[in-house]
Structure 1
Amino acid sequence: MAASLLSQVRWLLVEHPAVASFRWQPGRTVGATASFAAAVICGYLAAVLVLRRLVLPRLPPLPQPALRAASAAHNAVLLALSAAMAAGCALDGRHGAGAAVGVALLLPAAAGATEASGPVFFWAHVFYLSKVYELGDTLLILLARRPLTLLHVYHHAVVVAMCYLWLATRQSLMPIALVTNAGVHVVMYSYYLSCSVGLRWPNRWKRAVTELQIVQFLFSFAASVVMLWLHFTADGCEGMAGWVFNAVFNASLLALFLNFHGAAYKAAKANKGKAE
């Protein structure tokens, strides 16, 4: 039964003709241009500014039931997408991804050896487009009149450029990054979904989600060490320009998440002290 179910999932996520025959074609695939990514980022930042400064102050607050329903639907979509992306990429045996960890998830190390096609690139493309849809997170925060942090806006804007560069440069770490990031998002959007339907969790669980994201960044640096070793001792890896951008971005996110975690932990500790 389990084997049959796994076979069906594999066919749907890896062997389906639309997935197996996918090819990333610059200028032809949806979003496969630098101008598309730049337009999304600039449009997002402009929309945040206009909504915060000009639109929302003039609008009455939306009903809470409507906001909760919209948030629940949004989080459910991203939860399902994250699970499909993580599983689809991990099950692509062409890159040894069935192991789902370690060097086996690297794309072929030799520079120029990676063909931008097949399940990994299909799910990386879905991942890229999902980051555009994920900008809806910000709209929901603004509509709920909750504080909008620099970490949130910076993360959501720059990750679009990062995902484009993964695909455009055929970055060798892309399968590892996709599986780990989508896997973390399964946990994160499960938490958000439960909160949006009224299930309240202790603050330590919210902190645990942030800590899981921090662990993800630390793991990405460990994976980068392996990739760099292969790059300099073998035939070279793909997409080193994309890797440099990704490494700097991850380092900045790690610093921001550590600062956010420290501030949240101090606030929770202070509140606990007052309660006592």
Structure 2
Amino acid sequence: MVPLVIQSMQYWLSEHPKMVTFRWNTQLWGSTWLFLLTSISFYITAAVTLHHLLLPLFLRRRSRPVPLGPIPALHSLAMTLISAAIFAGTLSSVAAEIRDTRWLWQRSKTPFQWLLCFPLGTRSSGRVFFWSYVFYLSRFLLPLRTFFVILRRRTLPHIQLFYDSIFICMSFLWLEFSQSFQVFTILCVSLMYSMVFGYGFWAELGFPGPTYPGIVIHCQMFLLGCNLVFHVGAILLHFFKGGCNGIGVGFVNFVLNAVTFFMFFKFYVKMHLPIRMDVTSKPKSSSETKDEFANGKDKDD
């Protein structure tokens, strides 16, 4: 019975014909530059319009947060399940891909090096890139969090706007240029998000625990740091192991990751340094911490 269950899971996670024969092309939903730029522009415009125009127009400035009911909890649950599926599917697909293609590169690379550095000429096709495409599509669900923050706290989360837009763009570049090192990033992000959104679902149901925004900011700092490490590893392998596919765009991703990391680090320092310097001051409440996370401590709003 157990072997049949494992075999069935492997089929649906890595051996389904749609996954094995997957190929990134312009016929897929969301696979064009026009779609990418339009969707990011629409996201930013919609968030800014909601915050600066629609809410002041239809609601009083000091009115209560807009009730969202179970929508945030359902969003967290959906992201938890999707992230867990992406992690399991990517892990199973990586094992299957190494098994089937190892004879091509085993003399020049170890499996770990292959995960960081795809051989030159690699195309965006097969199991691994199928799950990379699913990961890319799932990024379009993340911006819903921005609208939840705006409706609940009446603040515009500038850092979150920037982070979501950059992550959507980077996920697209991974597929468009068959970029190396994306496998490690997908595995780390999907595993971390399955836990973060799982806790978010727990918090939305009203169960006690640490403040949710605090957990999110620490996890995002960790993920961005891991991304920088993966970039450095891929660059080193590119120069010392005969080249990595998509490394040119990898430098662009490296810069975007570095900028995003230092933005989050700056916010993290601003959020925690005053508390440590003034140990006699009143501890910040959970609601105050949430507000700071939402607006990045931007005093203009």
Tell me which residue corresponds to 1:18: 18
After superposition, residues 1-276 of structure 1 pair within 5 angstroms as 4-25=4-25, 27-60=26-59, 67-92=68-93, 93-96=95-98, 102-106=112-116, 108=118, 110-112=119-121, 114-203=122-211, 206-266=213-273, 273-274=281-282
Distance 1:188 1:246 in 2: 24
Deviation at 1:273, TM superposition (A): 4.1
Distance 1:214 1:4, change over 3 A: farther
Distance 1:135 1:271, change over 3 A: farther
Deviations 1:71-101 (A, max 9, x none): 011111111111111111111124449xxx9
Deviation at 1:135, TM superposition (A): 1.4
Question: Structure 1: 5+ residue runs without aligned partners?
Answer: none
Deviation at 1:152, TM superposition (A): 0.6
Deviation at 1:268, TM superposition (A): 5.8
TM-score by length of 1: 0.86
Deviation at 1:158, TM superposition (A): 1.8
Deviations 1:216-260 (A, max 9, x none): 222222222321222112231111232112111111121122122
Deviations 1:15-52 (A, max 9, x none): 12222222111x21111111110001111111112111
Please give the secondary structure, in 2, of the residue aligned with 1:111.
coil
% identity of equivalent residues: 27
More off after superposition, 51-60 vs 75-84: 51-60
Distance 1:171 1:78, change over 3 A: same
Distance 1:88 1:268, change over 3 A: farther
The answer on whether the counterparts of 1:162 and 1:242 sit within 8 Å (CA) in structure 2 is no
Based on CA coordinates, which of the two structures has the bigger radius of gyration?
A: 2
Deviation at 1:69, TM superposition (A): 0.3
Distance 1:264 1:10, change over 3 A: farther
Distance 1:146 1:62 in 2: 9
Distance 1:200 1:148, change over 3 A: farther
The answer on whether the counterparts of 1:95 and 1:106 sit within 8 Å (CA) in structure 2 is no
Distance 1:75 1:272, change over 3 A: farther
Letter in 2 for 1:83: A
The answer on whether the counterparts of 2:97 and 2:127 sit within 8 Å (CA) in structure 1 is no
**Which 4+ stretches in 1 moved above 6 angstroms?**
61-64
Distance 2:279 2:210 in 1: 13
Distance 1:141 1:223, change over 3 A: same
The answer on whether the counterparts of 1:162 and 1:245 sit within 8 Å (CA) in structure 2 is no
The answer on whether the counterparts of 2:116 and 2:230 sit within 8 Å (CA) in structure 1 is no
The answer on whether the counterparts of 1:83 and 1:182 sit within 8 Å (CA) in structure 2 is yes
The answer on whether the counterparts of 2:180 and 2:244 sit within 8 Å (CA) in structure 1 is yes
Question: Structure 2: 5+ residue runs without aligned partners?
Answer: 100-110, 285-301
Deviation at 1:14, TM superposition (A): 1.1
Distance 1:264 1:103 in 2: 38
TM-score by length of 2: 0.79
The answer on whether the counterparts of 2:87 and 2:190 sit within 8 Å (CA) in structure 1 is yes
Distance 1:88 1:46 in 2: 34
Please give the secondary structure, in 2, of the residue aligned with 1:264.
helix
More off after superposition, 31-40 vs 10-19: 10-19
Please give the secondary structure, in 1, of the residue aligned with 2:27.
coil
Deviation at 1:194, TM superposition (A): 1.4
